[in-house]
């Protein structure tokens, strides 16, 4: 609930502010401010999308989505990030035009706007700081960028007021846009890894396999698959060969996986007699992670 409310507050603040900012930027003639308002408006839109998707992601699993709706939150992150990336390219394009063809800027108006900008975006960043979903992190990233962007604009406005070098304005825009691009691509990579079913970063398959093999009574572990629904909730399925009581083994395995942050586990128990034929096993237990070794 908290996450949603925070996202909503950020949405309202951002939307309200981007309109004021667009008008202010147009009046003061600052491309940094106009392009920032477009970026802020994009943020507001994506935050709005995030809000609905975050709300949807809280729905319980049903017959249509047996895994639940967590991925909707991740989708929010994708959309938000793509909007940001597009916005950044637009900003860079406009700034380059400005460098080629400079115009007059009202520095005082720019200063006042920048002070406003820092305050409002700081509030929005403050409201979205506590969040555990990738979606909320994407939203918070926006807000922090906005604060940073405005602090830069503020400094720029002060410098320009005293030096009258108006080219500082578009150069600042480009700087902010590049910063946003870099963080957006990082975010996008994280989100795509989830959709591609990549093993979560913090889980080392070899290490985990060793730990499971150390459990008393576990003869073999294979067909181990680990993925994440939303970057927070991890799932695992695996086959375990044991000659002990399956119940005991299963609870020990669940405990071990719980320690690695994997809360949703499906275990197939096999007797030594029915041991998976080596050639049928897609990932042979003996070399479950050989191709990972060069990563460490």
Residue pLDDT, tens place only, 44-89: 777 788 778 878 888 889 999 888 888 888 888 888 788 888 888 8
pLDDT for 294 equals 44
Identify the DSSP state of 273.
T
Q: How far is CA 165 from the centre of its chain?
A: 37
Residue with tokens 């150390």: 214
Residues in the chain: 296
CB 241 within 8 A of CB 224: no
Summary mean pLDDT of the chain:
80
Identify the DSSP state of 245.
-
CB 203 within 8 A of CB 230: no
Q: How far is CA 259 from CA 33, 245, 252, 253, in A?
A: 48, 22, 11, 10
CB 248 within 8 A of CB 269: no
Beta bridge partners of 269: 240
pLDDT for 238 equals 93
The phi, psi pair for 92, rounded to 5°, reads: -60, -45
Task: Give the pLDDT band (50/70/90) at residue 205.
Answer: very high
Domains of the chain: residue spans and CATH: 2-195 (1.20.1510.10), 205-295 (3.30.70.1350)
What is the C-alpha R_g of the chain? 25
């Amino acid at each position: 609930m908290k996450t949603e409310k925070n996202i909503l507050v950020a949405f309202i603040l951002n939307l309200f502010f981007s309109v004021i900012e667009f008008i202010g930027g147009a009046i003061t003639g600052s491309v940094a401010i106009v392009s920032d308002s477009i970026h802020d408006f994009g943020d507001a839109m994506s935050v709005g999308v995030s809000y609905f998707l975050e709300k949807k992601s809280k729905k319980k699993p049903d017959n249509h989505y047996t895994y639940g709706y967590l991925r909707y939150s991740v989708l929010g992150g994708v959309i938000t990030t793509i909007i940001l990336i597009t916005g950044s390219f637009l900003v860079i394009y406009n700034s380059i035009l400005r460098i080629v063809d400079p115009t007059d800027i009202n520095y005082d108006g720019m200063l006042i706007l920048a002070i406003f900008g820092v305050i409002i975006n700081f509030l929005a960043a403050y409201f979205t700081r506590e969040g555990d979903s990738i979606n909320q992190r994407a939203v918070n990233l926006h807000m922090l960028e906005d604060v940073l962007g405005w602090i830069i604009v503020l400094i720029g406005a002060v410098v320009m007021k005293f030096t009258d070098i108006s080219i500082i304005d578009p150069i600042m825009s480009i700087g902010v846009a590049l910063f946003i691009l870099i963080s957006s691509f990082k975010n996008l990579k994280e989100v795509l890894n989830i959709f591609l079913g990549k093993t979560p970063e913090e889980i080392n398959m070899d290490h985990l396999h060793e730990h499971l093999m150390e459990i008393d009574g576990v003869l073999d572990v294979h067909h181990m698959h680990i993925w994440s629904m939303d970057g927070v909730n991890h799932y695992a399925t695996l086959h375990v060969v044991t000659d002990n009581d399956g119940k005991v083994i299963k609870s020990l395995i669940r405990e071990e996986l719980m320690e690695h942050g994997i809360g949703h586990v499906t275990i197939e128990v096999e007797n030594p007699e029915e041991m998976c034929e080596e050639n049928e096993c897609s990932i042979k237990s003996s070399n479950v992670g050989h191709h990972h070794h060069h990563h460490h």
